[in-house]
Chains A and B, each alone.
Chain A
Amino acid sequence: MTFRRGNQAPRRKAVIPAAISIEETFVTFGIFVMQLFNGLSLFTILLLMALGLAIVFGLMGVINMAHGEIMAMGAYTTYLTASFIEHHLPGLMGVYLFIAILLAFAVTFAFGYVLERGFIRWFYHRPLDTLLATWGLSLILQQTYRSVFGAQEVSVPLTTWLSGAWEPTETIQLPLNRIFIVALTILVTLGVWYILHKTRWGLRARAVTQNRAMSSAVGIDTNRVDALIFALGSGLAGIAGSVFTMVGSTNPGTGQLYIVDSFIVVVFGGVASLLGTAASSFLIAQMQTALEYLMSGSMAKVAILLLVITVLYFRPNGLFASKVRA
């Protein structure tokens, strides 16, 4: 993960002295809480990244290699919104992020819809072709970003009420922007759960996922469902991209950084399971932050990859494969 780490707790080596004073206990406790929070924060970031992919990959079985570039599209939309508001409507700078998130969702949702209707649907039942075609698309998008926005990084101004940290005690500092991401992720996840499980649209999506031919034979317009699932997955990627502008800057290659982590989370959790995706993000994030405390970041990553591979060896369908007899 290559996010800006400026507003995280400085890393300390765990050297515990023989006699611990009360003051030191507080400090240790503070570090512990901040470690937990760092894990939680990474968890929500991973989850936000993986949600859109879990929907498209899990429900439709489409591996969209351009998913990361769609996140980048959300990030660039946020950048454009910020620049526009900064120059033309500076009074709105306090809430620009909310406008940007909505716009990023709208733009990527529409892009996903058109992409499915005009492109992806011609490659169904040909997984390898889908892989190649969407990989090609990701290159085209990267090149487009490069020509439009330039190769250098762009970043957005951090809203004033989101800079700084919440300090419940002297030794605990929780960055406000991270708290915001945690809250937003919870909201988005609940929203997705609600759509999938409590609306007629979600019911159609779940039926099509289980049996496409039979869904059509009970009267469900499966083409429309495909397009909407893909659009929703893209829209979620857009939200993720928009939110990430708060913790990292954006360049044409940003999407590539996101996609690998997202795939690890989705495959580890078991496709077609929202709970699995959440649990898997949680486990990976907590392990990564805990391990990073003890060893270097890249060693932590290797350890996690090894663990994921081991789990997938014994549970090829991921942690949360469902258990209903068919």
Chain B
Amino acid sequence: MLKVHNLNVAYGESHVIHDASFLVQPGAAMAIVGRNGMGKSTLLKSLIGMVPARHGSSINLEGRELVGTESHKRVQAGLAFVPQGRLIFPQLTVEENLLTGLETRRYKEIPSFLYEFFPVLKDMRNRKGGNLSGGQQQQLAIARALASKPRLLILDEPTEGIQPSIIKEIARSLNALRAELNIAILVSEQVLSFALEVADRLLVIDRGRIVREADKANLNLDEVRSYLTV
């Protein structure tokens, strides 16, 4: 469903992503792993349109070319994004944060399953988003993204700065949501155990290049680990 071909991204003169090509199948879950500064965020941000891709790159979602379009058009086309650092709207209440996700109009109101998956959001409905804990903000960011009813959910390091018990909970939620909503997931990670728990296919990114791609079943774990340790 998502076909990335020859993706190149640069910040001014500094060329960060080099010729990335990969494919995400409908309903599949793919993880991109790599160390700090290898280009995971840059890659994912270019998919959602927060940083521009270079000329000649192609990002194709179900036959629609997305390069050059604005982020909100890509969300309309079926992408949703949970950024690193979560970036919920701190001055809006939890409920208002969720309402901002309804812009695609695929749901008329906040779907009740969101509160069922993340009960803490229901309890804190009227609190300002900025006053939630890190883990709660992460759940809010995921719920906000799902409120647009995406076909592909993109998450950038969802485990960063979150305690292990909550990490497990987020992994469980993502697996359950994927099964229930029949969406595809693309997630970047440094925590290999989390990546293996949610994804069935792995990409390894190193200095802006995709250096390995394999199904979870026939993965050389030691080799992947060698890319993740300094």
Q: Give the B-binding residues of A (Cβ under 8 A).
A: 200, 203-204, 206-207, 210-211, 213-223, 322, 324-326
Contacts and interface: CB of A to CB of B under 8 A. Distances in A.
B50 A217 contact: yes
A221 B92 contact: no
A217 B74 CA distance: 8
A112 to B, nearest CB: 22
A75 B75 CA distance: 43
B53 interface: no
Interface of B: 48-50, 70-72, 75-76, 80-81, 83, 87, 89-92, 96, 99-101, 103-104, 128, 130-131, 144-145, 148
A210 B76 CA distance: 21
Nearest to B89: A210
Contact of B101 (A210, A218, A221, A324): A218
Given A216-B71, A216-B75, A217-B72, 9 more contacts: A200-B99, A203-B96, A204-B103, A217-B48, A217-B49, A219-B72, A220-B100, A324-B90, A324-B130
Contacts of A213: 50, 71
A217 B83 contact: yes
Given A214-B87, A219-B103, A206 B72 contact: no
A322 B49 CA distance: 30
Given A203-B96, A213-B50, A324-B128, A219 B101 contact: yes
Contact of A221 (B48, B72, B83): B72
Contacts of A219: 72, 75-76, 100-101, 103-104, 148
10 closest cross-chain pairs (CB), A and B: A219-B103, A219-B75, A216-B71, A324-B130, A217-B71, A326-B90, A214-B87, A216-B72, A217-B81, A210-B89
Given A216-B70, A219-B104, A203 B130 contact: no
Nearest to A200: B99
Contacts of A214: 83, 87, 89
B103 A206 contact: no
A204 B100 CA distance: 7
A220 B104 CA distance: 8
A220 B72 CA distance: 6
Contacts of B100: 203-204, 207, 215, 218-220
Contacts of A325: 90, 130-131
A298 B87 CA distance: 48
A46 B148 CA distance: 42
A223 B69 CA distance: 13
B92 A210 contact: yes
A211 B48 CA distance: 15
B144 A218 contact: yes
A216 B49 CA distance: 9
A206 to B, nearest CB: 6
A209 to B, nearest CB: 8
A211 B75 contact: no
Contact of A218 (B75, B90, B128): B75
B87 A206 contact: no
A204 B97 CA distance: 10
A322 B128 CA distance: 12
A223 B104 CA distance: 16
A29 B128 CA distance: 46
Contacts of A206: 89, 91-92, 96
Nearest to A326: B90
B67 to A, nearest CB: 16
A215 B72 CA distance: 8
Nearest to B75: A219
A207 B92 contact: yes
Contact of A222 (B72, B89, B145): B72
Contacts of B99: 200, 203
A273 to B, nearest CB: 10
Contacts of B83: 214, 217
A322 B101 CA distance: 24
A220 B90 contact: no
Contact of A217 (B75, B92, B96, B128): B75
A217 B83 CA distance: 9
18 contacts: A207-B92, A210-B89, A210-B92, A213-B50, A213-B71, A214-B87, A216-B70, A216-B72, A217-B48, A217-B81, A218-B101, A218-B148, A219-B72, A220-B72, A220-B103, A324-B130, A325-B131, A326-B90
A284 B30 CA distance: 59
A214 B99 CA distance: 14
Nearest to B88: A214
Nearest to B104: A219
A193 to B, nearest CB: 15
A240 to B, nearest CB: 27
A7 to B, nearest CB: 42
Contacts of A324: 90-91, 128, 130-131
